Amino acid sequence: MTIIGAFAGFSLKKSTSQSSSIFKVILSKWFYIGSFLYLMGALLNIYVLKFLPYTVVLPMTSLTYIWTMIISFYLLKEKITFKKILGVMLILIGAFLISIS
């Protein structure tokens, strides 16, 4: 679910980076791929919530930040700074602490 969400964001980023016109963005295949992936991620989230408590599932969605950082580094060639890594680590520590209590 979290990997799908990260790739959905990547796809929407690709749709907007190809054109500044909203009409061209809407006609981009990346727009539809991203929208479809967000829908699939949402449906998976609903399915997972049938089996796990909300207080566990929602904090675990912060794993999306890890996948997003990896995708942005490898596929978008974005720079990953120490502050970004530290921020993601703090979010993950917080999610872990919430999920074990």
Contact 44, 5 (CB under 8 A): no
- Tell which residue, 53, 37, 54, 31, has the closest CA to residue 2: 37
77 conformational bin, left if phi > 0, alpha if psi -120 to 50, beta if neither: left
For 95, residues 6+ apart whose C-beta sits below 8 A from its C-beta are: 59, 60, 62, 63
Residue 13 domain boundaries:
2-100
Q: What is the pLDDT of residue 36?
A: 98
Q: What is the pLDDT of residue 56?
A: 83
pLDDT grade, residue 101 (50/70/90)?
Answer: low
Provide the token pair at 65.
């930040």
Count of all residues that appear for the chain in the document: 101
CA distance 78 to 93: 24
Contact 77, 17 (CB under 8 A): no
8/59: higher pLDDT: 8
pLDDT digits over 16-71, tens only?
A: 987 778 888 999 999 999 999 999 999 999 999 999 988 888 888 888 989 999 99
Q: What is the pLDDT of residue 97?
A: 86
User: How many domains are there within the chain?
Assistant: 1
